[in-house]
Amino acid sequence: MKTILIILTVFVLFNKFYAQDDYMNLLALIADEKYDKCLFKCEKYMENEKTKKDPLPYLYAAECYFYMSQDHKYKDDYPKAFKSSLSYLGKYRKKDKSYEYKEDAEEFIEKIKFIILEDVENNALAGTEKSAKKTASLMKKVIAFDPNDSGAKLLLGLNYILSKNKTEGKKVVAEAFEEIKKIGTDRDFGEMTESQQTYLKTALMEYAKFQKEINPEAAKETISLGHPFFYEKRDDCLIDDNSDFKALYDEITG
């Protein structure tokens, strides 16, 4: 039995490294900024019966679309490049349920999430039902490629509520709080990525601000969930400045 397990492990590792080597041509095209050619090859892999379930072509397609969205010369031919990038990133993670290719994907996912967070903050400042719908749509996409982001889930629930989808919003908020309350016990805060920590802080702050006028006690409970992580400096917190959290915590609890 032990011998069989060793053989199976070697087989899995061999196939993983073989797949990575097989897709080095895609990485080379991205490095050379030949994004349209890379997309064409990615689509060929996606259509091929032998490779259509492999995660990497979807990841590299997402990267191509992202870089195209940042280059004005692709604006006319690929007007929805950023939206396509998010879509393919979700497809990638659906194929890579166990996050086997974390080393290949995490840096890119972090970059995308921080870009999205800027839109979330702008939408919150706008404070309209339309902007809340935009944020809810973005959070659904974030959760698709980072299903372990409880902060994104709380933001999704909040913006469902703000866009008049209260029944679904309350359900999602309850699920998010259930996950958040496990951080520090069942889930190690220090193992969260910088974006996951930032989304958590942002979500707790936004939800507490939402509750402050209608239910001050609930707002205290919400903001207090972040106190162990963001109020005092701690070595495993990857966020440089939490003064905004501290100021809001003091305002709500003081």
Work out the angle between the directed axes of helices 24-31 and 56-69 (0-180°, nearest 10). 10
Give the chain's mean pLDDT: 92
| Per-residue model confidence (pLDDT) at position 20 | 53
Report d(CA 96, CA 104) in Å as an integer: 11
Reply yes or no on whether the pLDDT at 19 is more than 50.
no
Report d(CA 64, CA 80) in Å as an integer: 12
Report d(CA 236, CA 234) in Å as an integer: 6
Work out the angle between the directed axes of helices 35-47 and 56-69 (0-180°, nearest 10). 150
pTM attached to this predicted model:
0.90
> Using one digit for the tens of pLDDT, what is the confidence trace for 185-221?
999 999 999 999 999 999 999 999 999 999 999 999 9
Lowest mean pLDDT, pick from 13-27, 29-43, 123-137: 13-27
Amino acid at 249: Y
Report d(CA 108, CA 160) in Å as an integer: 27
Domains of the chain, residue spans:
20-100, 106-254
| Per-residue model confidence (pLDDT) at position 194 | 98
Token pair, residue 63, equals 């990267």
Task: Name, in order, each residue with C-beta under 8 angstroms of 3's C-beta and a sequence gap of 6 or more.
Answer: none
- Closest-CA residue to 112 (of 133, 129, 89, 94): 89
Query: Is the domain 106-254 a CATH 1.20.120 member?
Result: no
Please state the separation of Cα 224 from the chain's center in Å. 24
Reply yes or no on whether the pLDDT at 18 is more than 70.
no
Residue 112 · residue 85 · CB < 8 Å: yes
By residue count, the chain amounts to 254
Beta bridge partners of 246: none
